[in-house]
Chain A
Amino acid sequence: MRVTLTYTSREEIEVHRFSVWVTLGVPLLALFLQAFLPARWHFFSLFDLPLLVTIYFGMTRRSPVSGLVTGSLIGLVQDSLTHQPLGLYGIAKTLIGFAASSLGVKLDVDSPLTRLLLPAAFYIVHQAIYFLVARGLVRQTLDWPWLYTLGAALANGILAVVLFAILDRFKQRT
């Protein structure tokens, strides 16, 4: 006899959508804040708001195509704010958007624990992809700051719990 294990209730796999204003405005606001706030308060560069927004839209929409396109666009805009070649953040966020929406179908994404651990794990994976692409494809001599990455992953996980609760207010059920 085959037993199927699932961690997802019927209600949990509900797909949500967002208005056009939220779909465009939230990523743009996240990108703007990411560029603006660290220039005033340097510690803010610890967070990756565009990544958290990518994860959130991926998990709630639960559409891999939508997730990867969102991640790709947000990543490319973020790339253009840096001096690195375009595509480093683009590739990393494309994969994260795809993975978040794929996992969104399988996990209870409304649980605070999931919302803490998943973004933290995705942050580490995101940084790993960035470094792999930067070193492997672009031949950049970057070193991996391990301790910093772990601390930043935790910080992003905590911020995600708060941010996702705020963004939940804009959800519309399909």
Chain B
Amino acid sequence: MERIIGRYRSLTILVAVLFAQVLGLAVQVKRPADPAHPDGPSTRLIRLWVASAFTPVEKLFVGSSRWTRETWRDYIDLHNVRQENRDLRQQLEEMRIQQARVQQDAEQARRLQALLGFKEQFIQQTVAAQVIGSSGSELSRVLTLDKGSRDGVHNDMAVITPDGVVGKIVRVFPGSSQVLEITDQSSGVGALLEKSRLQGIVKGTPEGDPMLDYIMVDESVGAGERVLTSGGDRIFPKGLPIGSVTRVEKGHDLFHAIYLKPAADLSRLEEVLIITKVEERTPATDQADTPHRAADILAQRLPSVPSKSADPAAEKPGAPGDKKPPAPTPPPDKPQGVRQ
């Protein structure tokens, strides 16, 4: 026996190493799924080591490149800045007029919602984060963010940009976290079509595009129609843009295969928002302290968009003060599911 093992030493070691890894896989797959701790203690430790080794270097690279870019943009490359300023002022005036009109419609809608006892989801608190790395693999579309459990980030928190949904947090380390993009084949987001209000699930294709599934073939779906989060997955607040329909094909069984173009440009992400607190409540008819809706709040929350707040600490991205102040009145009854 020893002779055979000695003769086929390389093969024996290969079989042993493969066996150990298959065993490790079996243990990970068999382990009861705990949403808070998807890994076992041992696998978690290896991931923690790798994250601890890579994250500081990634942060250093991202930080220094950002500093260089901002220094160039803010102090050197000021070509045409006056003209741009004039254009923006004019645009601001136009937007103010438009906002007044839209606000009236929104207030009316909220009054009607309140009368119907309609519950809505509000983004209560967010943390701004920078994308510092990725899995580097098309087979696993994961991004690494520079915020972790020290910043109040937990598993299953939604990650968004002003343009739309990015993904959800799947793993958290003290100083970093991993986001599973909506284009990953194992991801799933509760979604609905904006016009028809038909509900389905958005998941990733092998090519890395999002696809809306579980819409019956007898339903009519047109290219260009927007797809929003339905809120049914209890992760993403309702009404956030996921993408728009690019083409509709015959899918499996009785369902369409609806291919989407993501609303957020997932291939060029630098800054994102992690939704750390979402609240459900009925909109108040009194508009004096109107809460912000999930979809309304996005454009104002990225660090690249300067805040008009008088408190300079509140303007710092990802700072502890980076929270939405309104103190909500808890709903009188138990929170219910989102009504369609």
Contacts and interface: CB of A to CB of B under 8 A. Distances in A.
A59 B186 CA distance: 35
A84 B171 CA distance: 11
A42 B265 CA distance: 11
Given A39-B134, A42-B268, A98-B10, A145 B180 contact: no
A111 to B, nearest CB: 25
Q: Is the interface of A mostly helix, strand, loop or mixed?
A: helix
Contacts of A21: none
A139 B57 CA distance: 35
A83 B144 CA distance: 11
Contacts of A82: 135, 137, 139-140, 142
Contacts of A77: 50
A81 B50 contact: yes
B143 A39 contact: yes
A81 B58 CA distance: 13
A44 B267 CA distance: 11
Tell which of A45, A65, A72 has the most Cβ of chain B within 10 Å: A45
A114 interface: no
Contact-residue bracket for chain B: 35 or more
Interface stretch (A11-19, A130-138, A160-168): A130-138
B29 A137 contact: yes
A85 B205 CA distance: 20
B166 to A, nearest CB: 13
Interface residues of A, number: 51
Contacts of A139: 29
A120 interface: no
B26 interface: yes
B21 A83 contact: no
B253 interface: no
A60 B49 CA distance: 29
Interface string A13-40: 0000000000000000001101111110
Nearest to B49: A80
A68 B17 contact: yes
B205 A143 contact: yes
A35 B134 contact: yes
A156 interface: no
Contact of A148 (B13, B50, B206): B206
Interface string A95-131: 1001000100000000000000000000000000010
A87 B137 contact: no
Given A39-B132, A148-B138, A80 B47 contact: yes
A157 interface: no
A37 B136 contact: yes
B24 A35 contact: no
B29 A83 contact: no
Contacts of A137: 22, 25-26, 29
B13 A65 contact: yes
B268 A35 contact: no
A142 interface: yes
A139 B25 CA distance: 11
Contact of B21 (A64, A90, A152): A90
Interface string B22-53: 10111011000000000000010011011100
Most buried by B among A42, A44, A48, A82: A82
B115 to A, nearest CB: 44
Nearest to A147: B207
Contacts of B57: 32
Contact of B28 (A39, A45, A69, A86): A86
B53 to A, nearest CB: 8
A47 B82 CA distance: 43
B229 interface: no
Interface in B161-185: 170-171, 178, 180, 184-185
A87 B24 contact: yes
A46 B267 CA distance: 13
Contacts of B132: 36, 39
Interface of A: 31-32, 34-39, 42, 44-46, 48-49, 64-65, 68-69, 72, 76-78, 80-88, 90-91, 94-95, 98, 102, 130, 133-134, 137-145, 148, 152
Given A94-B14, A141-B186, 8 more contacts: A34-B137, A39-B143, A45-B138, A82-B137, A85-B43, A87-B28, A133-B25, A152-B138
Interface of B: 9-10, 13-14, 17-18, 21-22, 24-26, 28-29, 43, 46-47, 49-51, 54, 57-58, 61, 131-140, 142-144, 170-171, 178, 180, 184-186, 205-207, 266-269
